């Protein structure tokens, strides 16, 4: 499914396939101070609650992964685990397209609430979530390995 046409290529959001892992890991390492390992991604793939969508861009050189979103669905809740975009391609709507697709997927399955934790210092991510209607509802002190606090955010999904 093409979600955006951009100069130089089309952006499509689709399901993760194992062939995406190397590109996802490169984005993960460039995006987070404590990135997930290949084993952590494999563990999530074996978790029936977990879903991973990938943004792929078709260019003259071929198809490449530009971002991904990983989340759990259980009962009427979604927990957003990870959302990352290749650093050189940020602020071009890829993260918003991924988040929108994940929220649509959740909405179609009856989800009523979406939760996430985001680093206190990640202003860009917090701004994205606020634009989508999330609200900050609490703090998890020293949540991350380096001691940074997490802001807990909630989105109440409309039917």
Residue 1 has pLDDT above 50, yes or no: no
Confidence of residue 159 (pLDDT cuts 50, 70, 90): low
Integer Cα distance of 25 and 41 in angstroms: 9
- CATH number of the domain to which 131 belongs: 3.40.630.30
pLDDT tens track for 16-60:
888 899 999 999 999 988 899 989 988 888 899 999 999 999 888
> Which residues, including other chains, have CB under 8 Å from residue 158's CB and lie 6 or more apart?
none
Question: What is residue 49's three-state secondary structure?
Answer: coil
Residue 156 has pLDDT above 60, yes or no: yes
Q: What is the pTM of this model?
A: 0.90
When pLDDT is averaged across residues 122-139 and rounded to a whole number, the result is 96
> Which residues, including other chains, have CB under 8 Å from residue 14's CB and lie 6 or more apart?
1, 53, 54, 56
Q: Identify the pLDDT of residue 154.
A: 98
**What burial class does residue 77 get, using C-beta atoms within 10 Å of its C-beta: 0-12 exposed, 13-18 middle, 19+ buried?**
middle
Quote the number of domains for the chain: 1
Q: Identify the pLDDT of residue 120.
A: 95
Range of the domain at 41: 2-156
When pLDDT is averaged across residues 90-100 and rounded to a whole number, the result is 94
């Amino acid at each position: 499914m093409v979600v955006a046409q951009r100069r130089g290529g089309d952006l499509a959001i689709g399901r993760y396939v194992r062939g995406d892992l190397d590109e996802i890991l490169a984005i993960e390492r460039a995006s987070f101070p404590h990135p997930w390992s290949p084993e952590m991604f494999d563990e999530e793939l074996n978790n029936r609650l977990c879903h991973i969508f990938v943004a792929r861009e078709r260019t003259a050189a071929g198809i490449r992964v530009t971002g991904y979103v990983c989340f759990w669905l259980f009962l009427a809740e979604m927990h957003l685990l990870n959302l990352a975009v290749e650093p050189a391609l940020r602020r071009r709507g890829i993260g918003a397209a991924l988040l929108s697709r994940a929220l649509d997927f959740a909405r179609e399955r009856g989800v009523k609430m979406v939760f996430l934790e985001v680093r206190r210092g990640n202003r860009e991510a917090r701004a994205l979530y606020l634009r989508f209607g999330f609200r900050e509802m609490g703090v998890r002190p020293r949540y991350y390995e380096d001691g940074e606090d997490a802001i807990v955010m909630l989105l109440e999904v409309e039917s």
